[in-house]
Amino acid sequence: MNNSKPHIIVEGSVEFKLGELDGNQIIYDFDKMLIYLNAKGRLLFGAKFKTFEEDREILFKLCNYFIKDEANCKRLDIDINKGILLSGPVGCGKTSLLKLLRYIVPHQKPYKMIPARNIVFGFNHIGYKTIEDYGDDHFFCFDDLGVEPIGRHYGKDCNVMGEILLSRHDLFVEEKIKTHATTNLNARELEERYGQRVRSRMRELFNLIAFDNASKDKRT
């Protein structure tokens, strides 16, 4: 990316203009952002990828969050200092969108997408160091939160992601380090999975953006 033109992203030989530069501020154009997201999505996920009109409201919220449009975020009740918890039914496109949206702001610190179940598998092999590894200043997006198994190391059970969320909350409070996540679970199911204390911390850690429960499975 050319830092003198942060509103223009180049993919191969094609330039995508996401808005206009006004001094040192980008005035983003949502429809132009959607054009780029569709093009980048096809590069990442294959020729069949597309965004759906029914998801336009979700995409509008997510785009405004990532570009840090304070006025729109305030109107949408989104705190740009918190992370995103993107919830919705299986196959609605949560993971693809959070993999994709980081590309519209290449000048911002990126986050790593990590499946929650992989973190638990790591814990089962090497123990509590796995939890410590997520207590640093990296930005993470935990994918499929809530459907991972309980961790077990040397015969001791551990709610691995619950412990990690507590440490990520501490990082957020102390250093404003963001965490994102996707989940198929609703608020009640998350509380059953992680307990009231973790659920309370999650409210402070995340903005909840939710697909409609009737959202279709886009993988079919």
pLDDT in tens, 180-192: 999 999 999 999 9
Q: Which domain holds residue 49?
A: 8-210
Q: Would you say residue 15 lies in a domain?
A: yes
pLDDT in tens, 21-74: 988 889 999 999 999 999 999 999 999 999 999 999 999 999 999 999 999 999
- CA proximity to 30, closest of 1, 68, 59, 70: 59
Q: Would you say residue 121 lies in a domain?
A: yes
Q: Would you say residue 217 lies in a domain?
A: no
Return the beta strands (E) in 166-218 as ranges: 179-183, 206-210
Q: Would you say residue 40 lies in a domain?
A: yes
Q: Would you say residue 84 lies in a domain?
A: yes
Reading the block at residue 9, the tokens are: 């992203």
pLDDT in tens, 118-173: 999 999 999 999 999 999 889 999 999 999 999 999 999 999 999 999 999 999 99
Q: Residue 23's pLDDT is what?
A: 86
Q: Would you say residue 37 lies in a domain?
A: yes
The residues pairing with 207 across neighbouring beta strands, listed in sequence order, are 84
Q: What is the pTM of this model?
A: 0.93
Cα dist. 36→30, 69, 186 in Å?
Answer: 10, 18, 31
Q: Would you say residue 218 lies in a domain?
A: no
Residue 216 φ then ψ, to 5°:
-75, 160
**How many independent structural domains does the chain possess?**
1
Reading the block at residue 11, the tokens are: 């993919």
Q: Would you say residue 138 lies in a domain?
A: yes
Give the domain CATH number at 31: 3.40.50.300
Q: Residue 11's pLDDT is what?
A: 94
**19, burial (CB in 10 Å: exposed 0-12, middle 13-18, buried 19+):** middle
